[in-house]
Chain A
């Protein structure tokens, strides 16, 4: 009833190919943006921003990155953590060498370094596919992890081996470093994520998205239709790593405020992969759903028993999270391999015909 498209005729192809052809969707997006940019800053408090929203946005961006590579282009990657790390360290070096350039520019530029590294490690994709390619990305992951620890230049020779985030300002307001408020950081992260999501959406709805999906579905046929495989795959690696790199830079500079190399270890790669699987491979909205579920789950597991007055050891909560995540993955793959995004689609479909069953 609520979701009917009755009366929404499309009179030209451009309208038919719009990203949100249905008016209700457009209204929905507008509302979400309004809440995100206006309502939350007004009512949000530090815990909500720092522990929930900022990491959710950052992980969503990383999940979008991995989704572009694994979901749209069909290239399994286990190197997400390392590519995020490249972005973080690149950002640190850039802002150390050029401290007067705006940090936001450096956060975005650090993605370019990740993109280059990603494309480099994606070169084997010409010859190898599937699980084998995953091993190539593992090589990237472990090699880069090693670099993060063993190349002291990367972390500015700091004694602890960790990244220390310097104070940086935007228009006079501190946005990184200990004095930056969570609200400013939230708004910067939000703006970057919204903009980059928009770019990703444009890409996947156009020629490049089609090329990626063709390569994913049947690369031999894609080649015979005239798609250049190596260029398409390398582009997927580059764009995906760009997104992961920016996410990594934001993670260190706009959330943690500092980091050790093990933040970008292989566990991070798995975490983002789970977000993408559960959220829905090959969808952008799935990246957000997956990030929300996987990231918030442990927090909820700790908070809910406390709310009921049952104490639960933090270690046990974490272990329980592992169990639940594991079970969730299996259950999802059995019930709905296409993840939460598909469930969302089914939900909208039901809304379309409600109150009728079909």
Chain B
């Protein structure tokens, strides 16, 4: 467990920076020259209308897509693109808009899968199981149980995730990401499809993760209320370009942002 980071001493050095990143698929330009940074310990929101390229941005940070141009600096190391394994190994974890759980496994196994990077007992110990491999399993099981308690999903730990309701599946996915003990946690619409109570629960978890574990969080979210309450700084994307990068209050009153979301008012020029 890391030492809790205080909000006042807050914005630490830059943990991740993307510079001038451009990404296209065939003819579609998903991102054009986007640059912003994420500071250690902060909660950074990425918002924008549908199709703005937010998920693509996370995918680039994650290593799932390789951008055509631009640079990614993570923990001081500069790269032109990330690879999924390098991202995971370096301490980046994420959740997905459309859920990417391992449906054939139980909640417990899904979260244990998040510990894979930290489990090292080799093939021959695995063949024997009893002995070092089992000890390692138990040790990591303890950590996973801490996460299960934290997320209040103890009752469903042995249930195959395919059978869980949507809100709980999202929580399990968060658990799997947390199991990786990431430095940077990327959350893609963690509140999508949730009712008010579920949103409050999820918000509480996100704040707790940030404060108790000291994890830096980048968060895509459509609910402006959540964004305002939770985040330290906000990046706004529209049609693959950055149109604002400031604190929530500043962004709320930014003309470009309002125009992107609401469009031009009729008959008046802005």
- Could you tell me if B104 and A282 are in contact, using CB atoms closer than 8 angstroms? yes
Which residues in B have their C-beta under 8 angstroms from that of A224?
Answer: 62-64, 84, 87-88, 93-94, 100
Whether A206 contacts B137 in the complex (CB less than 8 A), given A223-B84, A224-B62, A235-B123, comes out as yes
Asked if residues B116 and A210 are in contact (CB atoms below 8 Å), the reply is yes
Judge if A42 is at the interface, Cβ distance under 8 Å: no
Are the C-beta atoms of A207 and B94 separated by less than 8 Å?
Answer: no
Question: If A211-B116, A226-B117 touch, does A217 touch B88 (CB 8 Å cutoff)?
Answer: no
| Chain A positions 1 through 16: 1 when the CB is less than 8 Å from some CB of chain B, otherwise 0 | 0000000000011100
Chain B contributes a number of interface residues (CB within 8 A of A) equal to 40
B136 — nearest CB in chain A belongs to which residue? A207
Contact A221 B104 (CB under 8 A): no
Choose the segment among A26-34, A55-63, A197-205 that binds chain B (4+ C-beta atoms closer than 8 Å): A197-205
- What is the interface size of chain A, counting residues whose CB is below 8 A from a CB of the partner? 29
Interface residues of A in 205-252 (CB under 8 A from B): 205-208, 210-211, 213-214, 216-218, 220-228, 235
Partner of A220, one of B100, B128, B134: B100
Tell me the interface secondary structure of chain A in the complex: helix
Q: CB-CB contacts of B86-110 with A at 8 A, as 1s and 0s?
A: 0111000110100011111100010
Is B163 part of the binding interface, using a Cβ–Cβ cutoff of 8 Å? no
Report the nearest B residue to A224, measured CB to CB.
Answer: B84
Given A217-B104, A225-B88, A226-B85: A206 in contact with B64 (beta carbons within 8 A): no
**Which of chain A's residues have a CB closer than 8 A to the CB of B138?**
12-14, 17
The answer to whether B84 and A13 touch across the interface, beta carbons within 8 angstroms, is: no
CB-CB under 8 A from A17, the residues of chain B are: 134, 137-138, 141
Among A12, A14, A213, contact of B104 (Cβ-Cβ < 8 Å): A213
Q: Is the CB of A214 within 8 A of B133?
A: no
A residues within 8 A CB of B155? Answer: none
Given contacts A199-B127, A207-B126, A208-B126, contact A226 B100 (CB under 8 A): no
Residue in A closest to B162 when the chains form the complex, CB atoms: A217
CA distance A202 to B142 in the complex (A): 20
| A218-B100, A225-B180 given; A207·B137 CB < 8 A | yes
Q: Are B129 and A206 in contact (CB under 8 A)?
A: yes
Q: What are the residues of chain B within 8 A of A211 when measuring CB–CB?
A: 113, 116
- Asked if B112 is at the interface (CB within 8 A of a chain A CB), the reply is yes
Which residues of A sit under 8 angstroms from B176, Cβ to Cβ?
Answer: 225
Of A14, A206, A225, A228, which contacts B114 at CB under 8 A? A225
Q: How far is the CA of A227 from the CA of B93 in the complex (A)?
A: 13
- B87 in contact with A213 (CB, 8 Å): no
Q: Assess A227 versus B116: contact at CB under 8 Å? Given A221-B101, A221-B102, A235-B123.
A: yes
> Chain B contacts of A218 at CB under 8 A?
100-103
Q: Inside 8 A of A208's CB, which chain B residues have their CB?
A: 123, 126
Closest B residue to A217 by CB, please name it.
Answer: B102
Residues of B near A226 (CB, < 8 A) are 85, 88-89, 116-117, 180
A206 CA / B63 CA spacing, docked (Å): 27
Residues of chain A lying within 8 A (CB to CB) of residue B116: 207, 210-211, 214, 225-227
Query: Which residues from chain A contact B104 at a C-beta distance below 8 Å?
Result: 213, 216-217, 282
- Residues of chain B within 8 A (CB-CB) of A213 are 102, 104-105, 109
CA distance A252 to B138 in the complex (A): 42
Give the distance in Å from the alpha carbon of A220 to the alpha carbon of B102 in the complex.
Answer: 11
In whole angstroms, how far apart are the Cα atoms of A217 and B117 in the complex?
18
What's the nearest-Cβ distance from chain A to residue B7, in Å? 29
User: If A199-B127, A226-B117 touch, does A221 touch B100 (CB 8 Å cutoff)?
Assistant: yes
Decide yes or no whether B121 CB sits under 8 A from chain A.
yes
Q: List 18 A-B contacts (CB under 8 A).
A: A13-B145, A206-B137, A207-B121, A207-B137, A213-B109, A214-B102, A217-B101, A218-B100, A218-B103, A222-B102, A223-B84, A223-B88, A224-B94, A225-B113, A225-B114, A226-B85, A226-B89, A226-B117
Q: Which 6 A-B pairs have the closest CB atoms?
A: A226-B88, A202-B129, A221-B100, A226-B117, A217-B102, A223-B84
Given contacts A213-B104, A217-B101, A227-B116, 7 further A-B pairs with CB under 8 A are A206-B126, A207-B136, A211-B116, A224-B88, A224-B93, A225-B176, A226-B180
